[in-house]
Structure 1
Amino acid sequence: MTRRLLVLGRSGQLATSLSGLAKGAGWEIDTVDRSEADFTRPDQVIKAVHARPAIDAVINAVASNDVDGAEVDDREAIAVNTLTPAELGRACADRGIPLLHVSTDYVFPGRQGGKYRESDTPSPLNAYGRSKLKGESGVLSASARHAVFRTAWVFNGTHKNFLTAMLAQIGVRQEVRVVSDQIGSPTHADTLASGLLRAADYLLAGKARGGLFHLCSPDPVSRSDFADFIYRTAARHDGRCPRVIPIGSADWPSKARRPDNSSLDCDLFETTFDYALPHWRTGVEQAVSRWMDGRAGPSSTP
């Protein structure tokens, strides 16, 4: 029997990975993008969902993630990250189907020494984190079948993200300044997508209940060490990689405060869904190769 999955989002990192992996995982996938629904308008999103009567689960891969921009004007963040997920949760509950919603490590203040567990008390430092935390509550209160998955530092080799921003400096700069006092859990988009598809399997089969989970790659790392590994990996392809200069967050001011340590403990996810999450280094090697291939391809500029 074919299982049908609806993904909100089409061209982003996560939606792209979900589309690429769904068929191999036994899913028939449909997507909703911004040409069909304005994600700041919950009514348009719900209309798009109701237009697809034969779906078994929904994954919300859409977010407003301009962290600094939300400090100036948080209206889009509230609409996309809070109001739309809550309405979507209620609509899926009315249909009797599970909603898998993606949240963020930025719901935590980053002051504790070790990894954050799902049971730890969130306290966001910025407007983006507050909008995501309220979105979590809206989804989880709509149905016990719904699940929220906090992730962190998502990257791949094709979209705009920290890894591709670092790679774009190859041949441009000899040194790159990167903060060393922000610790997190880099996660390849394919790792996140694969984990979500596994969770959808378990939720539909009744092998797991909904709730709150952390889903990211293990072994937290600082931004500067992450950048250093990216360049050491890329150096096998291109010897012109910059040298990373570690700096403090105070030397790289931004409108929004970021947590110092937002690393996540994913034991509950791995146990609940019987799924071993791969190390982020494997994802970096895959993403760097993909970026290098794209740079060398026929569509690349000289």
Structure 2
Amino acid sequence: MTSSIPSRLLVTGARGQLGTEVVAAATAAGLTYAAHGSRELDITDVDAVTATVADFGRAADEAGQSAVLINAAAYTAVDAAESDRDAAYAVNATGPQNLARACAACGVRLIHVSTDYVFPGDGRRPYEIDDPTGPRSVYGASKLAGEQAVLASLAGAQVVRTAWVWGTTGANFVKTMAALAASRPTVDVVDDQRGSPTYAADLAAGLLELAGSDVPGGVLHATNAGETTWYEFARAIFAELGEDPGRVHPTTSDKFLRPAPRPAYSVLSGAAWAAAGLNPLRPWRVALADAMARSADAFRAR
């Protein structure tokens, strides 16, 4: 693998948890980029997408620059998707297809972010990129449809699955635990769902590395290394907050019934990522400690 930094970047979903970090990483790297949140660019609007990507590709061509689009836009309300199927499919399937077709027409490279929810969640070892999929929720099914649309519409497109993403922007598990640590004497957290907590800033750095590489198109997995349960993750968060981890009590998923089923096992194998010559993301526990040390105020309840 050869690696360089892409000279021009387009980010969709740029105001979300991951997109914000991609933009921050692009800024730090000195990239020329355009960043669009859903208010600036509705990826379900085919005409708007076609025009935006065409303008982006044209500007890159005129400047003699490489052009990469990272799509971090997604409908992520997992439970709401069960009763809002059309909206979930519009953003998670039709939108990515619009982007892929526009990129194909303009010669722009596309990196599309997907999820562990495309798998059934009944595995016993980390899911490889070519393991059979089998989503059990509308959210997961819509994301799988998006993957398929992207790969079918654009030769060389890359799909990057990730899991359990958290960061300084938006609502996430770390912030929820911090709020509960400040407001409740004890917290019950499920101990029968296993995955790999992934720090959005680390994932963003990995996506930029991929964007600057010559890795062939296809599917990759990128999460922070290691695995844990939500219960163990919560205990680690309490510890980093200086709180007693013993205040976190284990429970089971049947005590927290939700409209959409959660995967019991969501660990994704990073073997293909490493085999492509990309740097593996650091261990999740190291990332948590570092993020808390650097950005404690972003996670603490106010």
TM-based fold match above 0.5: yes
Instruction: Return the match for 1:213 from 213, 220, 243.
Output: 220
- Structure 1 distance, partners of 2:210, 2:218, is 11
Q: CA deviation at 1:81?
A: 0.2
Percent identical pairs in the alignment equals 38
| Preserved contact between residue 25 and residue 197 of structure 1 (Cα < 8 Å) | no
- Listed as ranges, the matches of 1:1-302 within 5 Å are 3-52=7-56, 53-55=58-60, 56-202=67-213, 207-235=214-242, 239=243, 243-290=247-294, 292-294=296-298
> What is the rounded CA distance, in whole Å, between the counterparts of 1:276 and 1:17 in structure 2?
18
Amino acid at match of 1:142: S
Counterpart secondary structure, 1:51:
helix
Alpha-carbon offset, residue 89 of structure 1: 0.5
Per-residue displacement from partner, 1:150-179 (whole Å, max 9, x unpaired)?
000111134211111111112200111111
CA distance in 2, matches of 1:190, 1:107: 23
Return 146-155 or 240-249, whichever deviates more.
Answer: 240-249
Of 260-269 and 275-284, more deviation after overlay is shown by 275-284
Deviation at 1:131, TM superposition (A): 0.2
Aligned pairs, number: 291
Aligned equivalent of 2:64: none
> Secondary structure at 1:285's aligned position in 2?
helix
CA-to-aligned-CA distance 1:50-85 (integer Å, 9 cap, x gap): 333324110001100000001111111100000010
TM-score by length of 1: 0.90
Distance 1:9 1:157 in 2: 16
Structure 1 residues 241 and 44 mapped into 2: Cα distance closer, same or farther (>3 Å)?
A: farther
Deviation at 1:242, TM superposition (A): 7.2
> Normalization by structure 2: what TM-score?
0.90
The 8 Å contact of residues 6 and 68 in structure 2, kept in 1 or not, is answered as no
Q: What is the RMSD of the two structures over their aligned residues, measured on CA atoms? A: 2.0
Q: Distance in 1 between matches of 2:81 and 2:46?
A: 19
How much does 1:273 deviate? 3.4
